[in-house]
């Protein structure tokens, strides 16, 4: 089938999201020089509402309006951070993932105006983050620090930090790189020090089911190892059935020999309990690995921890 003449790409309108779209346009232009692209920016509930996300009705605060543009035919292709796409339920009916782009850095970074590292931060330092995953892990390893709620896109968070609303920030390395602000990073945290979220650093392309001309055109942007990692991580979360307030981390990785493993954790919000599992896929497919790791954590009591957290 011949490639479409025009691909309309829908995305959130934050600087990070628009930078992601530019990456997709550049990769598409290299693959299909004849295809034109147009950007359809939308504001999502998650961009408009800067309060507690668990108070927004339903999941998908960063994806709902993007999905709607795809389904209504206003756009043909959506670019998402996999991290922001709910994994506890299937994609909206009528849509599918057409490709997962090569994964960026999965790690979180500390941003401190004077360049201090996490271990150097003095008692009482206010760390801006609304992420229950980051809060729980910091509480466990650095109980003398204080997390303060911090929402808004990465550029807004950096502006709030500059305005003194916190003393330091935790943000994804990949996000800072995308907005061209890797210069503010004072320390890149190892995945042992700060386990990443499901889908960290992965961009997914989503389209209407059955739009085969488009699927054919963009599938060449897909990265097979990233696809396996995203599939294992998302199935893990699907089986575990977390909610917005449950601190969960997970990181699948294809190593140099092509072996896939998945390490994952469930925490209590205060970080005092941490369940761990780490398994290799061996002959299992990625989704079965995700299921197996989720079951391993459920056997350790993950359900009771997750359900015991108010949401
Ligand atoms: N929750 C917002 C969000 N969604 C994806 C990223 C980072 C980029 C990525 O992991 O793809 C960020 C920002 C952050 O957590 O610092």
Complex ipTM value: 0.90
Q: Supply the pTM of this predicted model.
A: 0.95
87 and 210 part of one domain: yes
Q: Are residues 93 and 208 in the same domain?
A: yes
Q: Are residues 69 and 137 in the same domain?
A: no
Other CB atoms within a 10 A radius of the CB of residue 272 amount to 11
Q: Is 285 one of the annotated active-site residues of the chain?
A: no
Each residue of 4-31: pLDDT tens digit? 999 999 999 999 999 999 999 999 999 9
pLDDT value, residue 1: 59
Give me the CATH number covering residue 294. Answer: 3.30.160.40
Q: Which helix (H) or strand (E) holds 178?
A: helix 173-178
User: What secondary structure letter does DSSP report for 90?
Assistant: P
Nearest CA to ligand 1 atom 6: 175
The span from the CA of 100 to the CA of 103, in Å, is 8
Work out how many domains the chain is built from and give that number.
3
The pLDDT of residue 124 = 97
Q: Write out pLDDT tens, residues 206-260.
A: 999 999 999 999 999 999 999 999 999 999 999 999 988 999 999 999 999 999 9
- What domain range is 184 assigned to? 108-188
Kindly state if the Cβ of 132 falls inside 6 Å of ligand 1: no
Whether residue 181 is predicted with pLDDT greater than 80 in this model: the reply is yes
Is 164 a member of any domain?
yes
**Gap between the Cα atoms of 114 and 187, Å rounded:** 11
Does the pLDDT at position 43 exceed 80?
yes
Distance 246 CA to ligand 1 centre (A): 17
Residue-level pLDDT at 266: 98
What is the average per-residue pLDDT within 126-153? 96
Q: Kindly state if the Cβ of 106 falls inside 6 Å of ligand 1.
A: no
Which of 47, 67, 76, 84 is an active site residue? 84
């Amino acid at each position: 089938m011949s490639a479409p003449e025009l691909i309309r790409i829908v995305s959130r309108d934050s600087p990070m999201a628009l930078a992601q779209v530019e990456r997709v346009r550049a990769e598409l232009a290299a693959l299909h020089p004849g295809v034109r692209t147009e950007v359809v920016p939308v504001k999502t509930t998650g961009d408009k509402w800067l309060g507690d996300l668990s108070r927004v009705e339903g999941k998908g605060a960063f994806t709902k309006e993007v999905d709607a543009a795809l389904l209504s035919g206003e756009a043909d292709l959506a670019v998402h951070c996999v991290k922001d796409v709910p994994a506890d339920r299937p994609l909206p009916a009528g849509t599918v993932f057409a490709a997962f782009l090569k994964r960026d850095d999965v790690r979180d970074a500390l941003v401190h105006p004077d360049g201090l590292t996490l271990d150097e931060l003095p008692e009482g330092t206010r760390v801006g983050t609304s992420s229950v995953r980051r809060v729980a892990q910091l509480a466990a390893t650095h109980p003398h620090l204080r997390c303060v709620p911090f929402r808004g896109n990465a550029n807004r968070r950096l502006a709030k930090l500059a305005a003194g609303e916190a003393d330091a920030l935790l943000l994804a390395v990949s996000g800072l790189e995308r907005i061209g602000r890797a210069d503010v990073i004072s320390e890149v945290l190892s995945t042992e020090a700060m386990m990443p979220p499901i889908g960290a650093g992965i961009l997914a392309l989503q389209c209407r089911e059955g739009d085969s001309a488009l699927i054919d055109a963009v599938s060449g942007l897909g990265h097979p190892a990233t696809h396996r990692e995203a599939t294992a991580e998302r199935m893990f979360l699907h089986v575990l059935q977390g909610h917005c307030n449950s601190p969960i981390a997970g990181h699948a990785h294809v190593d140099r020999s092509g072996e896939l493993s998945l390490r994952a954790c469930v925490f209590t919000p205060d970080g005092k309990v941490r369940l761990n599992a780490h398994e290799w896929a061996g002959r299992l497919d990625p989704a079965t690995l995700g299921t197996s790791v989720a079951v391993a954590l459920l056997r350790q009591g993950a359900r009771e921890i997750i359900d015991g957290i108010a949401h």
